[in-house]
Amino acid sequence: MDGTPGGLSGISAPGRVAAPDEGVTEQELALAARNHGLPLEALRYDVTPPGLHYVLTHYDIPATDADGWRLTVGGRVRRTLDLDLDALRARPATTRRVTLECAGNGRARLTPRPVSQPWLVEAVGTAEWTGVPLAALLAEAGIADDAVEAVFTGADHGVERGVEQDYRRSLPLSTAADPARDVLVAYEMNGAPLPPQHGSPLRLVVPGWYGMAHVKWLRDITLTATPYTGFQQSVAYRLRQSAEDVGEPVTLIAPRALMVPPGFPDFMSRTRVVRPGPVPLAGRAWSGHGPVTRVEVSENDGATWTEAELVPDPAHPWAWTAWRTTWTATPGLRRLTVRATDAAGNAQPLVAEETWNRGGFASNLVQRVEVLCTTEATAA
Amino acid sequence: MDGTPGGLSGISAPGRVAAPDEGVTEQELALAARNHGLPLEALRYDVTPPGLHYVLTHYDIPATDADGWRLTVGGRVRRTLDLDLDALRARPATTRRVTLECAGNGRARLTPRPVSQPWLVEAVGTAEWTGVPLAALLAEAGIADDAVEAVFTGADHGVERGVEQDYRRSLPLSTAADPARDVLVAYEMNGAPLPPQHGSPLRLVVPGWYGMAHVKWLRDITLTATPYTGFQQSVAYRLRQSAEDVGEPVTLIAPRALMVPPGFPDFMSRTRVVRPGPVPLAGRAWSGHGPVTRVEVSENDGATWTEAELVPDPAHPWAWTAWRTTWTATPGLRRLTVRATDAAGNAQPLVAEETWNRGGFASNLVQRVEVLCTTEATAA
């Protein structure tokens, strides 16, 4: 009875963009209250402490049980695998430090605003993931000659834009089966079993790709002879200019730099307060397209830029790069801007329009931080 | 230079309520993206797993170091204490399971909406806190005869409504020094050192009180001979009907029941989908005023109520109480309501107006959950 008042379409509307001057809706707010970003001061940690890493859950966090969990690997393989957690833990393990960002990061700063999870800039985090290399599992199963993609199914179930579904995404085998891509079937995050909200007991980790590819609560991997065209591949996560546009798929993370906001904040406006003089600035930058090669800071909206010092960590090529510089603050209300450039030559845009698309994906507009430099102090 | 364009007042406006039909602002959204509630399906856990417990940080999470941390206990005491973490850990420890709720929970459902952290219903969580009983520390220091309050100072620093401050709150000694109130100086949450966002390395835990009393990043306790009148006591956290109203202080948690939303959700509307027939309903209820004595569910906006079964846990008097019942779903769009009553006779209101105050505190309007009961299924 889809399409009738009692049907799913009545509670699950198509994607839309907000009307001009339409404030954030209660539906967007309910998503913002459930999901959360990285509080930006937590950029100070090389590895994001538990609970501070961003979380985006499409449906509910499922009630999973590690004891009875099975991962099946089937479809276009020579032999089907059916593995429990012990079987996965018995195989050679790999640990990778990976920076993970939601594809919708930046969405709420677009005009018009795509109506979905309303991220500003904070949907990111870095963790140490431990698990079995996907390439090894696929080699063990044996990839059939006609296989082209691996389709990953999670245990999370819901409705989206009128379609009831398990969360499901695919990767081309050129990524999934390439040991150099370091795709993992992970069972530990920062040395502990996965927390419920990060996919307990198993999730996919796809270094360099936006979060939608890192299927949580992973229960099945199926190789296919044709590209997967399900909802999360063909309807969601496309870069469209209009509802009719087929669009390009969202894949690798676009470059972004974020700054630990300097000084201390006002509770409500989050404007920062610093005293005049040298102010250390630091943060992180990352890109799925290659190493970050430049981070620049501007105190005058891009009229001039100061290049920050990068602190690369060759041991962790999939993790963000630390950067630092010093800013000499002078009294007044300032606006700091930071931007990253990667080895492939991608840089962050200064205007949101350059990243607009109907789903609000991969929008890497520069971060701007309002800072009041003042000699004033009022004791409480 | 407060009051001038370069001063703190320029970035830190007085509290206000939203204009009629004013959508959620970008400032409220920035708070919602940093702070987060309990995803309601996580009500299934007796003790909230790390990262799912609600978090509200006024300023920044400070960069603290457990190694050099000192807690001082002074003011109107017979001998000042200056303790490091080892000294606290060497004292007899107590563990208490405590349900903690933000005083601003429910604020964003008020009309007009107080402009602050825009919680809907989800600012709650339950944890096992381990630490030293505050009553024992105060007895060790020796309470001077003229002492009336204990003032607690955290390491978090910022500006709020124009006032630069360390976060600071007081408790009357009738609560702080009463062993039966179980107030703790806690250094562990769920058996592990406190995470940064929950007060690492030390926080106050005040069972039965709203979250503003549980001072995080605790570094000083000072007993005073007069009641404390600082910002967080006399300006914030008051139940005022107007800006001029002195108001009553926010203290104990008002009763509230929450339901694990049944079935599965639509991504955007969060409306639930169930099939016709018996649907198990379950959740939690709590009150700072005494045990929860009744939880009721209505499928018809309160025309009739079904009493749920309570599952009390006498071992954990400061924690929420589980409840459960079964609802027979029939096709159509339904709205479930749940309400709690406590031993003191307090019950949740059915209309928001009954809880309105200018700060949006202690608003315990009933939860309502939209549920579509349908036989329809669409495969992805």
Of all residues in chain B, the one with the smallest CA distance to A234 is: B380
> Helix, strand, or coil here: B207?
coil
Q: How far is B167 from chain A (nearest CA, A)?
A: 9
CB contact under 8 A, A266 and B11: yes
Best B113, B259, B268 member to test A by mutation, with max A CBs in 10 Å, is B268
Question: Which pLDDT value is given to residue A377?
Answer: 64
Picking from B12, B52, B198, the nearest residue to A196 by CB comes out as B52
Average pLDDT over residues B170-195: 98
Q: Percentage of residues in chain B with pLDDT exceeding 90?
A: 93
pLDDT tens, position by position, A198-241: 999 999 999 999 999 999 999 999 999 999 999 999 999 999 99
For residue B354, give the nearest of B202, B241, B268, B258 by alpha carbon.
B241
Measured between beta carbons, which residues in chain A are less than 8 angstroms from residue B380?
Answer: 163-166, 168, 230-231
Task: Report how many Cβ contacts below 8 Å link chain A to chain B.
Answer: 272
Best A2, A27, A28, A34 member to test B by mutation, with max B CBs in 10 Å, is A34
- Where along chain A do its domains lie? 21-249, 256-373
CATH number belonging to domain B256-373: 2.60.40.650
pLDDT of B126 higher than 90 = yes
pLDDT tens, position by position, B115-124: 999 999 999 9
pLDDT tens, position by position, B13-47: 999 999 988 999 999 999 999 999 999 999 999 99
Question: Which pLDDT value is given to residue B364?
Answer: 97
The more confidently predicted of residues A258 and B1 is A258
What's the pLDDT band for B188 if we cut at 50, 70, 90? Answer: very high
CB contact under 8 A, B374 and A269: no
CATH architecture of B15-249: Alpha-Beta Complex (3.90)
Helical pair B26-34 and A26-34, crossing angle rounded to 10 deg: 30
Average pLDDT over residues B143-159: 98
Of all residues in chain A, the one with the smallest CA distance to B153 is: A380
Question: Which pLDDT value is given to residue A380?
Answer: 46
Measured between beta carbons, which residues in chain A are less than 8 angstroms from residue B158?
Answer: 264-267, 273
CB contact under 8 A, A11 and B370: yes
For residue B268, give the nearest of A246, A22, A251, A359 by alpha carbon.
A359
Say which range, A53-57, A241-245, A247-251, A285-289, has the weakest mean pLDDT.
A241-245
For chain A, the average pLDDT equals: 96
Question: Which pLDDT value is given to residue A3?
Answer: 42
What radius of gyration do chain A's Cα atoms show? 22
**How many whole angstroms separate alpha carbon B8 and alpha carbon A24?**
27
pLDDT of B341 higher than 70 = yes
Average pLDDT over residues A281-290: 98
Structure tokens at A166: 């398990």
Question: Which pLDDT value is given to residue A2?
Answer: 41
Measured between beta carbons, which residues in chain A are less than 8 angstroms from residue B12?
Answer: 266-269, 271
What's the pLDDT band for B376 if we cut at 50, 70, 90? Answer: confident
Measured between beta carbons, which residues in chain B are less than 8 angstroms from residue A163?
Answer: 378, 380
Best A159, A170, A212, A260 member to test B by mutation, with max B CBs in 10 Å, is A159
**How many whole angstroms separate alpha carbon B251 and alpha carbon B171?**
9
DSSP bridge partners of A100: A125
CB contact under 8 A, B376 and A8: yes
Q: How far is B344 from chain A (nearest CA, A)?
A: 31
Of all residues in chain A, the one with the smallest CA distance to B105 is: A33
Question: Which pLDDT value is given to residue A376?
Answer: 76
Question: Which pLDDT value is given to residue B352?
Answer: 84
pLDDT tens, position by position, A146-194: 999 999 999 999 999 999 999 999 999 999 999 999 999 999 999 999 9
Measured between beta carbons, which residues in chain B are less than 8 angstroms from residue A14?
Answer: none
pLDDT of B314 higher than 50 = yes
What's the pLDDT band for B76 if we cut at 50, 70, 90? Answer: very high
Contacts of residue A52, Cβ cutoff 8 Å, sequence gap at least 6:
A38, A39, A42, A45, A125, B61, B195, B196, B197
CB contact under 8 A, B266 and A12: yes
Question: Which pLDDT value is given to residue B378?
Answer: 55
CB contact under 8 A, B379 and A41: no
Picking from B25, B168, B195, the nearest residue to A49 by CB comes out as B195
Q: Are both B15-249 and B256-373 of the same fold? A: no
Q: What is the DSSP letter of B39?
A: -
Q: How far is B45 from chain A (nearest CA, A)?
A: 10
pLDDT of B353 higher than 90 = no
pLDDT of A378 higher than 80 = no
The more confidently predicted of residues A4 and B314 is B314
- Homologous superfamily of domain range A21-249: Oxidoreductase, molybdopterin-binding domain (3.90.420.10)
Q: Percentage of residues in chain B with pLDDT exceeding 70?
A: 97
Structure tokens at B47: 């003790």
Q: Are A166 and A156 in contact (CB under 8 A)?
A: yes
Q: What is the DSSP letter of A51?
A: T
As for the ipTM of the complex, it is 0.95
CB contact under 8 A, B6 and A374: yes
Picking from B25, B49, B158, the nearest residue to A266 by CB comes out as B158
Best B120, B267, B378 member to test A by mutation, with max A CBs in 10 Å, is B267
Q: How far is A256 from chain B (nearest CA, A)?
A: 18
Measured between beta carbons, which residues in chain B are less than 8 angstroms from residue A235?
Answer: none
Average pLDDT over residues B184-197: 98
Best B60, B166, B198, B274 member to test A by mutation, with max A CBs in 10 Å, is B60
CB contact under 8 A, A26 and B120: yes
CB contact under 8 A, B32 and A34: no
Picking from A7, A13, A333, the nearest residue to B268 by CB comes out as A13
Q: What are phi and psi of A89, to 5 degrees?
A: -70, -20
Q: How far is A133 from chain B (nearest CA, A)?
A: 27
How many Cα atoms within 13 Å fall on the side-chain side of residue B281? 28
pLDDT tens, position by position, A331-369: 999 999 999 999 999 999 999 888 999 999 999 999 999
Q: Are A342 and A301 in contact (CB under 8 A)?
A: no
Contacts of residue B27, Cβ cutoff 8 Å, sequence gap at least 6:
A268, A269, A270, B115
pLDDT of B1 higher than 50 = no
pLDDT tens, position by position, A61-104: 999 999 999 999 999 999 999 999 999 999 999 999 999 999 99
Best B266, B272, B330, B372 member to test A by mutation, with max A CBs in 10 Å, is B266
Picking from B24, B39, B265, the nearest residue to A24 by CB comes out as B24
pLDDT of B342 higher than 70 = yes
Question: Which pLDDT value is given to residue B380?
Answer: 46
